[in-house]
Structure 1
Amino acid sequence: MSRLRELSLANRLLLASLLTLAVALPLAGTGLSHYFRTTATDAFDERLEALLNVVVAGLAWEPTQQRLVHERSLGDPRFEQVLSGWYWQISDGAERVLTSRSLWDQRLPVRSHRDVIIRDLTGPRGTPLRVIERDIRLTALDGPLHVSVAISRKTLDATLARFTRLVTLFLVVLGLLLLVTLALQIRWGLAPLRRIQADLQQVENGDAERLDTRLSPELARLARAMNGVLDRDRRLMRHARHTAGNLAHALKTPLSVLTTLADGVDEPRRTRLRDELTRIDEAVRHHLARASAAGDATLAPRVVASDVLAPILSGLGRLAERRGITLSHDLPAEMRVRMEAQDLQELVGNLLDNALRWAESRVELRGGNDAGGSWMEIEDDGPGMDEAQRRDALARGTRLDEQRPGNGLGLAIVADLVKLNGGRLTLDRSRLGGLAVRIWLPGRPFQPAD
Structure 2
Amino acid sequence: MSRLRQLSLASRLLLASLLTLAIALPLAGAGLSHYFRTTATNAFDERLDALLNVVVAGLAWEPSQQRLVHERSLGDPRFEQALSGWYWQISDGGERVLTSRSLWDQRLPVRSHREVMIRDLAGPRGTPLRVIERDIRLAPLDGPLHVSVAVSRETLDAELARFTRLVTLFLVGLGLLLLATLALQVRWGLAPLRRIQADLQQVENGDAERLDARLSPELARLARAMNGVLDRDRRLMTHARHAAGNLAHALKTPVSVLTTLADGIEEPRRTRIRDELTRIDAAVRHHLARASAAGDAGLAPRVAAGEVLTPILAGLGRLAERRGITLSHDLPVGMRVRMEAQDLQELVGNLLDNALRWAEGRVEMRGGSDAEGSWLEVEDDGPGMDEAQRQAALSRGARLDEQRPGSGLGLAIVADLVKLNGGRLELARARLGGLAVRVWLPDRPFRPAEC
Distance verdict in 2 for CA 1:437–1:84, change over 3 Å: closer
**Native 8 Å contact 2:384 2:433 kept in 1:** no
Match of 1:341 in 2: 341
SS in 2 for 1:121: strand
- Tell me how far 1:280 sits from its aligned partner: 1.2
What does 1:350-389 align with in structure 2 at a 5 Å threshold?
A: 350-359=350-359, 362-380=362-380, 383-387=382-386
Report the RMSD for the aligned CA atoms in angstroms: 2.9
CA distance in 1, matches of 2:166, 2:96: 47
Distance verdict in 2 for CA 1:73–1:433, change over 3 Å: closer
Match of 1:240 in 2: 240
CA distance in 1, matches of 2:165, 2:31: 14
AA at the equivalent of 2:299: L
SS in 1 for 2:444: coil
Match of 2:19 in 1: 19
CA distance in 2, matches of 1:85, 1:384: 107
Distance verdict in 2 for CA 1:432–1:68, change over 3 Å: closer
Match of 1:396 in 2: 401
Match of 1:219 in 2: 219
Q: Is it true that 1:421 corresponds to 2:426 in the alignment?
A: no
**Native 8 Å contact 1:398 1:408 kept in 2:** no
What does 1:123-202 align with in structure 2 at a 5 Å threshold?
A: 123-202=123-202
Distance verdict in 2 for CA 1:232–1:63, change over 3 Å: same
CA distance in 1, matches of 2:27, 2:436: 74
CA distance in 2, matches of 1:398, 1:49: 106
Match of 1:96 in 2: 96
What's the % identity of the aligned pairs?
85
Match of 1:272 in 2: 272
Match of 2:256 in 1: 256
- Tell me how far 1:339 sits from its aligned partner: 1.4
- Tell me how far 1:435 sits from its aligned partner: 4.7
Distance verdict in 2 for CA 1:322–1:275, change over 3 Å: closer
Superposed CA deviations along residues 239-272 of structure 1, whole A, max 9, x for unmatched, are 2111111111221222233233333434333332
**Native 8 Å contact 1:389 1:400 kept in 2:** no
Q: Is it true that 1:73 corresponds to 2:73 in the alignment?
A: yes
Match of 1:287 in 2: 287
CA distance in 2, matches of 1:437, 1:113: 104
Superposed CA deviations along residues 91-126 of structure 1, whole A, max 9, x for unmatched, are 333343322222233332333333222122222332
SS in 1 for 2:72: coil
- Tell me how far 1:48 sits from its aligned partner: 0.9
Distance verdict in 2 for CA 1:144–1:367, change over 3 Å: same
Superposed CA deviations along residues 380-412 of structure 1, whole A, max 9, x for unmatched, are 45x4434377767973367756xxxxx922232
What does 1:302-317 align with in structure 2 at a 5 Å threshold?
A: 302-317=302-317
**Native 8 Å contact 2:87 2:150 kept in 1:** yes
Distance verdict in 2 for CA 1:142–1:299, change over 3 Å: same
- Tell me how far 1:171 sits from its aligned partner: 2.5
AA at the equivalent of 2:417: L
AA at the equivalent of 1:176: L
- Tell me how far 1:53 sits from its aligned partner: 1.5
SS in 1 for 2:131: strand
- Tell me how far 1:205 sits from its aligned partner: 2.7
Q: Please, which moves more after superposition, 116-125 or 340-349?
A: 116-125
Q: Please, which moves more after superposition, 275-284 or 353-362?
A: 353-362
AA at the equivalent of 1:312: I
AA at the equivalent of 2:384: M
- Tell me how far 1:44 sits from its aligned partner: 0.8
CA distance in 1, matches of 2:54, 2:393: 115
Distance verdict in 2 for CA 1:270–1:132, change over 3 Å: same
Distance verdict in 2 for CA 1:56–1:320, change over 3 Å: same
**Native 8 Å contact 1:78 1:84 kept in 2:** yes
AA at the equivalent of 1:164: T
CA distance in 2, matches of 1:28, 1:165: 14
Greater relative contact order: 1 or 2 (C-alpha under 8 angstroms, separation 6 or more)? 2
Distance verdict in 2 for CA 1:151–1:377, change over 3 Å: closer
AA at the equivalent of 1:271: T
AA at the equivalent of 1:376: L
AA at the equivalent of 1:133: E
AA at the equivalent of 1:33: S
Distance verdict in 2 for CA 1:93–1:353, change over 3 Å: closer
CA distance in 2, matches of 1:365, 1:273: 38
CA distance in 2, matches of 1:65, 1:385: 133
CA distance in 1, matches of 2:114, 2:233: 93
**Native 8 Å contact 2:201 2:446 kept in 1:** no
Unaligned runs of 5+ in 1: 402-406
CA distance in 2, matches of 1:32, 1:428: 76
- Tell me how far 1:142 sits from its aligned partner: 3.6
CA distance in 2, matches of 1:35, 1:183: 32
SS in 2 for 1:149: strand
Match of 1:404 in 2: none
AA at the equivalent of 2:349: G
- Tell me how far 1:377 sits from its aligned partner: 2.5
Superposed CA deviations along residues 332-374 of structure 1, whole A, max 9, x for unmatched, are 2221112111111111122333444555655433211133321
- Tell me how far 1:214 sits from its aligned partner: 3.2
**Native 8 Å contact 2:385 2:434 kept in 1:** no
CA distance in 1, matches of 2:389, 2:48: 108
CA distance in 2, matches of 1:353, 1:110: 113
Distance verdict in 2 for CA 1:62–1:332, change over 3 Å: same
Match of 1:445 in 2: 445
SS in 2 for 1:396: helix
Distance verdict in 2 for CA 1:132–1:334, change over 3 Å: same
Match of 2:53 in 1: 53
Q: Please, which moves more after superposition, 138-147 or 84-93?
A: 138-147
Distance verdict in 2 for CA 1:437–1:115, change over 3 Å: closer
Distance verdict in 2 for CA 1:426–1:59, change over 3 Å: closer
CA distance in 2, matches of 1:46, 1:145: 22
AA at the equivalent of 1:52: L
Q: Is it true that 1:332 corresponds to 2:321 in the alignment?
A: no
Distance verdict in 2 for CA 1:355–1:102, change over 3 Å: closer
AA at the equivalent of 1:232: R
- Tell me how far 1:128 sits from its aligned partner: 2.0
CA distance in 2, matches of 1:423, 1:101: 96
